Structure 1
Amino acid sequence: MILIITNKEDAHPTPVIERLSARGVPVFRLNTEALLTDYDFGWQVDAAGEISFWIRCRLNGLETTGREITALWDRRPEKPEELPYPSTPEIDRHNREEALGFLVFLRYWLKDIPSIGSVVNDRPAASKMLQYATAREVGFKIPRTCFSNSREQFLKLSQECADLILKPIDVCDVWDEKHGVDYVFYAQKTPAASLREVPNEAFSQTVSFVQEYIEKAFELRVTVVGKQVFACKIDSQAQQEETGRIDWRQGYEHGLKQNAFALPDTVSSQCVAFLYRMGLNFGCFDFIVTPSGEYVFLECNPNGQWLWVELSTGLKIADAIADFLSNE
């Protein structure tokens, strides 16, 4: 039995479930926002000290046990939200927090099952500092980078580079509750000299993440599943600056072109080695390929989105995930 832990709105499991079902591999999907409304479950220790876990979906009657779970896809769980019997705000908050505590601890208990996604390793592996250290160890070229709240640090970097790029560290958007607007932070290119005009308060009030701007021929999204590597070429430099040339995520609705790409074996091996050092079986890498043909590592998302790559290029990523989960 394959256990997929995610949420109702997540489209990524669907093609993988289809492929697993076609192979006769049973799948249990746990949509965690409905943990308390759509499922019955129990984890217990009996008088002999034996541990057991079971879960049953109320919607389709499907049931599994801890002993039956052979692989886990810790995909995109959300906090338990739906309640069978709403009460006061205080009681509801307590009940949701208790359900979340159970869910997190259950995922820790399942940590030794072969998995894509890891409640233990994904969050540490998202550290940009750890990523750049690991990237250097496996032989990737990396940009000059600075995390700081010191204006002097950034001015020093600005003396070494013609242009810089400002990026979010961890929070990529701000939700404006009053107006119902989500403000997304995209990477911003700026002339290095312009930082000299920025007052100290702009740096000292938070931590900023700044890198040298790397000139691009094109960009790559490389998805790795186990030892299978899939590369997608992103033609960002055919875009205007505000529609994907600087941050290709802005090009989704502006005709941004993506195609399958033959990645050099050396880079493929480095990607696999990177994930091994991070304790991961899956990752989505972003690279710049420079006009001179250098491959520059930007980041690796340990639980990144990949379905758009498959849909735009035909790369068989869902098949690879099904292969891994079914141990084929």
Structure 2
Amino acid sequence: MPMILILTAHGDHSTDQTIDWLNYYNVQYQRINIDDLLANHTVAYSIDHNHSEFTIDQHQTSDFKVVWFRKSGVFRSSDLMLQSKNILSDQLSSFLSFEYTAFIQALTISFTKAKWLCNIEAVNSLDKTKQLILASKAGLDIPESLITNDRKQAIAFLQKLKGKSIIKPLAESEIFGTPENKYSISPKLLSKDFFRYFKRKKFLPSLIQEYLEKDIELRIFYLDSECYAMAIFSQLDEQTKVDYRNYNFKKPNRFVPYNLPKTILKSIQCFMEYAGLNTGSIDMIKTKSGRFVFLEVNPKGQYDMVSNPCNYFLEEKIALSLINKLN
């Protein structure tokens, strides 16, 4: 019987909820938590002159007609090496991480005949720079942006903007630290004189964008050409004004369903087609002047935070999307 392969991460609640619907519809599937793959599963890739076959536990890749790439998880070198204070342990851990990434790429290549929900190759090739280029090509409005490693270039760009600017990671935002202290690498407002007092002339290339005063923030879950939009009234709270992901748990932002203009819907569909994605969580803002501005898409973004407040029942819709791809 054809099966669905779910590639996700340990403890992902959104995956659990979608799997509940797959169980309800009595569909065969196998869940692989990528962060537990090496410790809890048996994998092998046999290659010879005439044939190649990947096996996961007792299943061959040909058993899976549909693959859902939900999350990648976090590689743990502790699964493969003993803890030690050896001076080379950090370098070895880095090497193992690269080897693990190469293995995951080999795994995904073996599913050439499967239908994908969130194709991992498209995800891996889509950085924020490419997103902005494709969004503009698709007719979406984007913030004026500069990626640079040079202080003079940054100062000139801030002068050109004549207002507030924002700095963002080129990759995904991260939270790291110790059990006692957590630190967030996420979008931050810049003062107009920030780089004038910056001692280094060169720095790691960074994404600087114009800061747009927003009327509302929009989180849009995209699935098979359909958009499920939610308005977030984050501008009313200083804590969430720059980025609603600076959550105020004591006084949460208001979330409501939102109907996007047809022209924006068409441009989003065009952008996702250019990006090679059939699902993803899109962040946009509607400015006080009425502009709908694209910020980014996260192909692996959360959808329950849109589903629950807006009664979109996205978990069931994703399950039905996977089931339809089996046929």
1:306 CA displacement = 1.5
1:164 CA displacement = 1.1
Distance 2:81 2:232 in 1: 47
Amino acid at match of 2:197: V
- Taking the TM superposition and a 5 Å limit, the aligned residue runs for 1:176-325 are 176-177=177-178, 180-192=180-192, 194-195=193-194, 197-201=196-200, 204-239=202-237, 241=238, 243-253=239-249, 254-325=251-322
Residues 295, 45 of structure 1: CA spacing in aligned structure 2 closer, same or farther, 3 A cutoff? Answer: same
- Taking the TM superposition and a 5 Å limit, the aligned residue runs for 1:110-189 are 110-125=111-126, 127-160=127-160, 161-170=162-171, 172-173=173-174, 175-177=176-178, 180-189=180-189
1:155 CA displacement = 2.2
Partner of 2:26: 24
Structure 1: unaligned runs, 5 residues or longer: 57-62
Residues 1:2 and 2:35 aligned together: no
Distance 1:187 1:87 in 2: 37
Structure 2: unaligned runs, 5 residues or longer: none
1:55 CA displacement = 2.7
Amino acid at match of 2:16: T
1:181 CA displacement = 2.6
Residues 159, 33 of structure 1: CA spacing in aligned structure 2 closer, same or farther, 3 A cutoff? Answer: closer
Cα distance per residue 1:172-198 (max 9 Å; x no partner): 346335x65330023222343x24642
Residues 234, 112 of structure 1: CA spacing in aligned structure 2 closer, same or farther, 3 A cutoff? Answer: farther
Are the aligned partners of 2:218 and 2:231 in contact in 1 as well (CA < 8 Å)? yes
Are the aligned partners of 1:74 and 1:115 in contact in 2 as well (CA < 8 Å)? yes
Distance 2:143 2:43 in 1: 48
Distance 2:98 2:196 in 1: 46
1:95 CA displacement = 8.1
Residues 80, 174 of structure 1: CA spacing in aligned structure 2 closer, same or farther, 3 A cutoff? Answer: closer
Distance 1:265 1:12 in 2: 29
Are the aligned partners of 2:150 and 2:203 in contact in 1 as well (CA < 8 Å)? no
Cα distance per residue 1:11-34 (max 9 Å; x no partner): 121121111222222110012233
Q: Is the partner of 1:251 in helix, strand or coil? A: coil
Amino acid at match of 2:10: K
Q: How many residues align?
A: 313
Are the aligned partners of 1:32 and 1:80 in contact in 2 as well (CA < 8 Å)? no
Residues 156, 86 of structure 1: CA spacing in aligned structure 2 closer, same or farther, 3 A cutoff? Answer: closer
RMSD of Structure 2 on Structure 1 (CA): 2.8
72, 82, 86: which one aligns with 1:77: 72
Output the TM-score relative to the length of structure 2.
0.85
